[in-house]
Amino acid sequence: MADKKPSLAPTTTNPRGIPTAPFVDNVSDYVSTRAEVESTLRSFQEMISKYQFMEVNTQRRGQGLRDKIPDIKKTLEMVTFLQMRRQNNLDPLETNFELNDTLYARASIDPADTEEVYLWLGANVMLAYPIEEAQTMLTEKLAAAELSLANCEEDLEFLREQITTLEVATARVYNWDVVQRRKEKAEGKDDEGSTDKKRPDGG
């Protein structure tokens, strides 16, 4: 009985469920005849395209988090500052607040008046929160965003590794086909049914 070939279907994933690409160490485990080369290379290219699509989406998500995290930090710092002044019953705070891009107004903020703060939630929505609740929510939101960014960076590294693995696999299968074609020519066999003489990447 012939040995069963390894499946090209992914068997393991990373913590976010991204599948691991097949590692082709021995081409003959995946391709036994030249007739199977074209379909194998096509499968590899389809997998590469999927990984590249996931890579672009992950990069976009990571950039969004990089833009968002500084805003969360800045808001949390201000809420913490107001909370500290309130707890210590300090003198009123003199500050300038923005009315529009070129117009500011001066205000005096009494710590006793900072029982709650108003936070933008996005989509032109602003809600009032008790200052302690706002501090807790922002702290949790910052931690979640930083964890998501770390996961994005880890996923990007993983995706690049899978793309490289498949590019190496593609090259190995292609080179195997070239060797087999030369053997067949040396033996006087025809070249029908072979892969195109150009590499899958157009080279």
For the beta carbon of residue 30, count every other beta carbon within 10 angstroms: 22
The DSSP secondary structure of 17-50, one letter per residue, reads: -PBPPPP-S-GGGT-SSGGGHHHHHHHHHHHHHH
Average pLDDT value for the chain: 87
pTM above 0.85, yes or no: no
- Alpha-helical runs (H) found in 21-130: 37-87
pLDDT digits (tens, 9 = 90+) for 164-203: 999 999 999 999 999 988 988 888 765 544 555 455 555 4
Cα 100 to chain centroid distance, Å, stands at 36
pLDDT at 97: 80
In degrees rounded to 5, what are phi and psi of residue 109?
A: -110, 115
Structurally, at CATH architecture level, domain 40-87+130-186 sits in: Orthogonal Bundle (1.10)
pLDDT mean over 61-90 = 92
- As given in the structure block, the two tokens for residue 12 are 């393991």
Beta bridge partners of 109: 93
The token pair that represents 35 in the structure block: 């007739």
- For the chain, domain boundaries: 40-87+130-186
Category of 89 on φ-ψ map: left (φ > 0), alpha (ψ -120 to 50) or beta: left
Provide the pLDDT for residue 1: 42
Among 37-41, 113-117, 162-166, the range scoring the smallest mean pLDDT is 113-117
Percent of the chain with pLDDT over 90: 56
Burial 52-84 (b: 16+ CB within 10 A, else e): eebbeebeebbeebeebbeebeebbeebeebbe
pLDDT of residue 7: 63
Answer whether 152's CB lies under 8 Å from 63's CB.
Answer: no
